[in-house]
Amino acid sequence: MWYFSLTRFIVGAVFLLIASTMDLKTRRVPNRLWIVMGSVAMMVLFSELLVRKIWSDAEIYWQHFLIFVPIIVLFSEAFMDRPPLYSEKGIELKVLAWLILPVVVFIYMVNTLSHSLLFWTLSMIPGMMLFAFMMYFFYILYGGADAKAVITLAVLVPFYPYIPNFTHRAVSADLVPLMQTLFPFTLVILLNSSLIVAVFPVFYFFMNLFKKDLDFPKMFFGYRKKVSEIEDSFVWPMEYYEDGSLKTELFPRSDPEERVESLKLHDREKVWTTPKIPFIVPIFIGFILSFIIGNPMMYLF
């Protein structure tokens, strides 16, 4: 059913293009964009499962549709504000029930659908959503918009796409069902996006080499900039003063205002900075590439 893949490609390309434009201009992407994109993604997934159940020979049971319970709960946790689980009054039972519900549903699905490869493929949707939460928690994904993009893409592209004369899965058709479980397509997008980001240090190196700003290893992660221009730019200062001595942090993520003030107090004119990379842009490019070339790791095998 290639038309579902085409629908997913169009939806993803349009929304990620809009998000990339916003990320480039302001380094912010409003939640409403991801909420709309995720809602459309859920409708596409529901429609595909329903079409498969009615008009194809695929073994799809009503229990497969229960996957929307953990999907909706996790998606809501990413975008909606809810009361805390614990307050002065004690544990909020409604919140506890809300959080336990997807676990109970998933256990039921395992007991009834463990024989179904489709179930394990669908289970990768909440699995990838939880993975995005973890990457954000451990600062692998630094921006909230980046994590929300991954969460939304997990719902949008649960299957390896197929569009005649356009997509290339890089694996044989027989292996696709297994790959969808072992290496979800959202991971393919993240892999291709990361390969794009990996080019940046090479770019910074040659740019600094041309400008004769040679300072290893800072020259791989950014460039020198006037202190007076930092506050109006999308950069973090790698250098700052603490207790009167100059410190260096290659991957700064703390509030740059305090560091800029410390640099001004010591009359520093220029310092090394690292840009706030709009990661939505590599995700957008990685999304397009993933449809065209598939999983680059498969070429190595």
Q: What is the mean pLDDT of the chain?
A: 89
pLDDT surpasses 80 at 49: yes
Among 100, 149, 177, 157, residue whose Cα is nearest residue 278: 149
Note if the bond before 282 is cis, omega within 30 degrees: no
pLDDT in tens, 158-199: 999 999 989 887 777 788 888 899 999 999 999 999 999 989
Percentage of residues in the chain with pLDDT exceeding 70? 98
Residues 6+ apart with CB under 8 A from 118: 58, 59, 60, 64
How high is the pLDDT of residue 21? 95
Lowest mean pLDDT among 21-30, 43-52, 59-68, 250-259: 250-259
Q: What pLDDT does 127 receive?
A: 96
Please calculate the CA angle 40-76-139 and round it to the nearest 5 degrees.
Answer: 105
Q: What is the pLDDT of residue 254?
A: 66
> Quick one: pLDDT band at residue 6, thresholds 50, 70, 90?
very high
Q: Percent of the chain, pLDDT > 90? A: 53
Judge contact between 23 and 29, C-beta under 8 A. yes
Of 33, 8, 7, 4, the residue nearest 186 (C-alpha)? 8
**What's the whole-number mean pLDDT along residues 53-60?**
82
Q: Where are the beta strands (DSSP E) in the chain?
A: 86-87, 90-91, 223-226, 235-237, 239-242, 245-248, 270-275
Give the pLDDT confidence score for residue 301 in this predicted structure.
62
Tell me if residue 109 falls in helix, strand or coil: helix
Per-residue pLDDT at 17 exceeds 90: yes
Mean pLDDT of 141-167: 91
What would the mean pLDDT of 136-154 be, rounded to a whole number?
A: 87
CA distance 34 to 23: 13
pLDDT of res. 107: 97
For residues 55-64, give the mean pLDDT. 86
The 3-state DSSP class for residue 31 equals helix
Q: Cα dihedral sign for 97, 101, 107, 112? A: positive
Closest among 71, 61, 188, 43 to 119, alpha carbons compared? 61
Q: In which band, very low, low, confident or very high, does the pLDDT at 255 lie, cut at 50, 70 and 90?
A: low
Taking alpha carbons only, the member of 151, 73, 65 closest to residue 108 is 65
At residue 16, the pLDDT reads: 97
Do 226 and 200 meet the contact criterion of CB atoms below 8 Å apart? Answer: no
